[in-house]
A and B are shown apart, each in its own frame.
Chain A
């Protein structure tokens, strides 16, 4: 970068932020705290973290940089794909295969002198609380519920409490979260420990579409059933490429497309297309530039308001839809008093089970299905005879192999009892949950 480009000293760019200055420095009936310090806070001290450098992330980087913030971190483990280019406007054809976070950061840094974007090409789970603690505000542009829950859990774990049980306000890192699907989206502001968190409102996420195995296997009716059949049954049986399905490999998609078409024609089912096959296999969610712009801008405005107090914050959940006209609706999502993530830290966490005869695999299934836990691949340990014993863990291969046999054993056989405690780790939270098993007599039908 040339010398002049770096020059953002007040001398030669004094008027650049005139627009921002007006709303930051002037008093007004809707302004909560006008301050001549606000802009310099944004430019010299405030640190914002953007999680995700995709559709929302690219927009967020631009918006937050142009709202006067100077130090912005961005974290994303993904690389750039051709299908990103219809909306992720910081990326070009030549960038395909490169790190989203790195390319995005480089672009913003060269377009807006003075701004320092620091990329992190990794998973959010690769960093611990020391990293997350440094930020004033964290804003998420994610497409994964698991990642949202994880960072939500991380920010909750950073809270400290006063002696009277109140949250120490200085330990709160606000989280602004956005999400989009097609022409619909939502944006929300979370003050961890104070307002509804991600886990308080888990039921807001739509359930994933699944098809019963018997339908797929014996009574298919939709093109989707034929595609699922190839994915779930035929692929592992014929193993055409000696590897699991890779949704990004056109040879794989082609094979599935052909087999699904064959199956569909056997059953007189119409409508298997290449696009549908891709959609089902990769679980594709439609996305356009415009909705990303709208939701990211809403989030960026909230980040700006939280950092400066120049206007009242969104309280606390906004939905957007422009399928017909333009529609927004804002409401206050409520905290769940017994939320497993943000409820009282010392509240006991229970899991009701029917009997100790249940197999460990069934317990794991229960943790995945349970509306309050909704785990992905929980790992379980328990204290036995003063020693920590791993019951099952799928994330480390050697441990998985060593504990696989336990899956078939009943809880009794594994030495668990009523009111016994299992420690559960899962990708949905950075914290290990101490869960008390409670045997409940089966309810009479």
Chain B
């Protein structure tokens, strides 16, 4: 009968609760999330929606900074306030109601205006791993951006405005080992086989096999053998490059299918698979250009005693590529599934694992040498880390962002990008201009354009003048269409819950990507528009 439960961490209550997400970022991603401290500035509808999608998956702790008292309007957009709370501290009530979502999460609040808090306690943010702001006026945002940039703490500045929204990530550098790309080609090295792989393939003589065995030879072996035959027939060392050459190889493989006594080809799935694999399994083994640029990055080439493990690992891989690897990255070591008998498949799989293990060993030794030279402890990089890095070597990713405050400084702003986008009629960056116009409007008038019903028409004119000042500053032409101004003034600074909920989900996931160092965050600005039909409602821009 049932024996006692296996001693597995996967059986704990916590792992049952988080099961559906652990399948996405693993126990190590979860551990990173659970040890993270985050800060939210302004518990708007958007703010609490972001926190909701962080508290539920189990972020370690949050702190809300908000000096506002709860109004009736708040109740129309914010789910984490209740009807008895009008007039109370928005930070306090939101904290209480968000904490109900997950007993594993800690939370506290500061009932104070963020501007005042920053002035009184400039080091307040030091203890956080990440700060999220919603709907901040530009003066406060600029100041916050500078503070966090100097502290090297990532900031996600989010905004929900009528039917549009924006998310801006400010991060100086973010490195990712596990980017979990969607579609990848397997790393099979049929163009650069190592001795034990060649030996194994050569040990199989297709012609002498019984039919049953012939049908169960992994396609990899078939592909390699026929590739060699094709190469010798064509007097080349290269892989087939164009359609004709590939078709040629496919026909050659097809000719190897066994026939019955009447000369009719048998159905051999492994040969069919080999023919299909011509397209994706015979791509020349190279270092992808995105990885090459990381390996040649200054942070990789010139390590210092303060270098992060990512860069030391990258340097160890670079040294491997330049030496033992003969220009190749370490072998990934995984084999796709294919029709085969168990013994041969497992043997082949083992060959790939062993070779990957040997590559990782070399890199581990190199990494340890580097640590020694840099005066860092040898424990700074473990064998497990090296293996993870090697498995993902083709997919590593680095993001370097800019400081939000620089966008507001004419010397460092990205005026050209904006003016080009406007001239090219870019569908979405126009909303960035509109939101900047709204900021300027708010700075000048201390209200949002269209906030009051009787001011909509005059505000359109005022907003237009704000935007003209901006476009003049950026050196681009005046906006010809007034439609967008009308639309912006229609919103009157209003927040629609569904729009905030959309942005809240997106923003929370970006925070999780940063905290877990898995998956690739947006680089670095995202606009969303929900009122019209467009092929793309989302635009991502590097600002």
Contacts and interface: CB of A to CB of B under 8 A. Distances in A.
Interface of A: 4-5, 13-20, 22-23, 26-31, 59, 62-63, 66-67, 82-83, 85-87, 89, 92-93, 111-113, 182-183, 215, 219-222, 240-241, 250-251, 254-255, 257-258, 267-269, 273-275, 278-279, 284-294, 296-298, 300-301, 304-305, 311-315, 318, 321-331
Contacts, number: 273
B57 interface: yes
Interface in B513-543: 519-523, 526, 528, 530-538, 540
B76 A66 contact: yes
Q: Which 3 A-B pairs have the closest CB atoms?
A: A293-B505, A19-B494, A297-B502
Given A23-B490, A304-B498, A85 B17 contact: yes
A111 B85 CA distance: 11
B10 A274 contact: yes
B18 A86 contact: yes
B533 A312 contact: yes
Contacts of A312: 531-533
Interface stretch (B129-137, B175-183, B299-307, B468-476): B175-183
Contacts of B206: none
B28 interface: no
Nearest to B98: A89
Contacts of B534: 330
Given A66-B76, A89-B56, A250-B11, A269 B19 contact: no
A298 B506 contact: no
Contact of B24 (A89, A182, A258, A330): A182
B17 A83 contact: yes
Nearest to A2: B84
B125 interface: no
B82 A301 contact: no
Contact of A219 (B181, B340, B486, B491): B340
B5 A250 contact: yes
A258 B7 CA distance: 12
A219 B10 contact: no
B16 interface: yes
Nearest to A249: B2
Given A85-B102, A89-B52, A326-B510, 6 more contacts: A4-B83, A19-B494, A82-B17, A86-B20, A291-B505, A312-B533
Given A22-B492, A26-B490, A300-B501, A16 B20 contact: no
Contacts of B20: 83, 86-87, 284-288
Interface residues of B, number: 99
B487 interface: yes
Nearest to B505: A293
18 contacts: A20-B496, A22-B492, A23-B163, A28-B486, A29-B486, A63-B498, A66-B497, A86-B57, A93-B103, A221-B345, A254-B2, A268-B342, A273-B10, A286-B20, A289-B52, A291-B509, A294-B502, A298-B502
B13 interface: yes
Contacts of B22: 275
B382 to A, nearest CB: 21
A194 to B, nearest CB: 15
Nearest to B167: A326
B512 A66 contact: no
Nearest to B16: A82
Interface stretch (B67-75, B142-150, B360-368): B67-75
B533 A325 contact: no
B17 A267 contact: no
Contacts of B100: 92
Given A258-B3, A290-B512, A297 B52 contact: no
Contact of A275 (B19, B57, B522): B19
B341 interface: yes
Most buried by B among A26, A267, A278, A330: A26
B77 interface: yes
B119 interface: no
A252 B172 CA distance: 50
B530 to A, nearest CB: 5
A297 B501 contact: yes
Nearest to B533: A315
B303 to A, nearest CB: 28
Given A19-B77, A89-B101, A288-B21, A219 B342 contact: yes
B275 to A, nearest CB: 19
Contacts of B102: 85
A349 B540 CA distance: 47
B226 interface: no
B333 interface: no
Nearest to A279: B23
Contact of B526 (A222, A290, A326): A326
Contacts of B491: 22-23
Contacts of A66: 45, 76-77, 79, 497-498
